[in-house]
Amino acid sequence: MEVRMPILEANGLRKEYTLGEHTVHALRGVDFVVEKGQFIAIMGPSGSGKSTLLHLLGGLDTPSDGEVTLAGQRLSVLDDNRLTLVRRHNIGFVFQFFNLLPTLTAEENIALPLIIDGQDMHKHQQRIEALLELVALADRRDHKPDQLSGGEQQRVAIARALVTEPTIVLADEPTGNLDSKSGAAIMDLLRRSCDELGQTIIVVSHDPRAAAYADSVVFLGDGQISGRVSFADVKEMAKRLRVIMETMEKLQVQTR
């Protein structure tokens, strides 16, 4: 039997903040394993620790306790320079706000991580062309962000996250600023990048409709994992959505 090694692993993650005389326990010992090619959604109410967890997994913040291991590399032992290189080469980030450079075209924004890394974007033109096709923006490659809709800008941001062929893509509320139609298109794009490119993806979302695109959903509550559901045998989106809603209702009852 084939043994799949984890791409990303979190062990005993805790995160505490001090606000005046009070200590906020954002995460209270989270264990988390992601295998190559998985699409995982993290859900939970506001303040449950979703974004905090994603930031720790991506090396954007350091845990108060616990360890994150990415592709066999413990993030806690890296200095700032090495951690920057790990993020640049191994992690693609997608945020709620698109963070595109307004003076660059769609194509140039997609190529930006390569340029920052000192690479010649022309040597990677085939990859860029493939991503423009994947996000259906080949005919708008020369448009600048203010000439694109919100959904199109987010598609550029996703292509930018994929251009370095990262180990994992971390998306924080990627549909948060979009209408329902554009949001569905973004989640479908992430799903396709997983299915067609073998991309490993973690999405943080409060929206059950977005989470239904994932292979499994992890529920956070009060900084802890409160539940999990897997869709290994559930292909229909309506059934997935129903499972998510039923699980959310059960978890709400348990925490009352």
Residue 190 lies in a domain: yes
Cα separation values, 111 from 115, 119, 125, 128, Å: 6, 10, 9, 7
Backbone angles phi, psi at 39, to 5 degrees: -120, 110
Residue 210 lies in a domain: yes
Domain tally for the chain? 1
Sheet strands (E) in the chain: 6-19, 22-35, 39-43, 65-70, 73-74, 91-94, 168-172, 201-204, 216-221, 224-230
> Which CATH number covers residue 208?
3.40.50.300
Residue 186 lies in a domain: yes
Each residue's pLDDT tens digit, 41-79: 999 888 888 999 999 999 999 999 999 999 999 999 999
* Cα 115 from chain centroid (whole Å): 22
pLDDT value of residue 253: 52
Each residue's pLDDT tens digit, 126-138: 999 999 999 999 9
Tell me which residue range forms the domain holding 10.
Answer: 6-93+169-254
Mean pLDDT score of the chain, rounded to an integer? 90
Residue 142 lies in a domain: no
CB 107 within 8 A of CB 142: yes
Residue 136 lies in a domain: no
pLDDT one digit per residue (tens) for the chain, 256 residues:
455 678 999 999 999 988 888 888 999 999 999 999 999 999 988 888 899 999 999 999 999 999 999 999 999 999 999 999 999 899 999 988 889 999 999 999 999 999 898 888 788 899 999 999 999 999 999 999 999 999 999 999 999 999 999 999 999 999 988 888 889 999 999 999 999 889 999 999 988 999 999 999 999 988 999 999 998 777 788 888 998 988 888 877 554 4
CB 34 within 8 A of CB 200: yes
pLDDT value of residue 3: 54
Selection from 149, 159, 151, 103 nearest residue 129 by Cα: 159
Token pair, residue 52, equals 């905090």
Rounded Cα distance, 220 and 236, in Å: 24
Residue 61 lies in a domain: yes
For the whole model, what pTM was predicted? 0.90
HSE toward the beta carbon, residue 212, CA cutoff 13 A: 19
Residue 201 lies in a domain: yes
Residue 232 lies in a domain: yes
pLDDT value of residue 20: 83
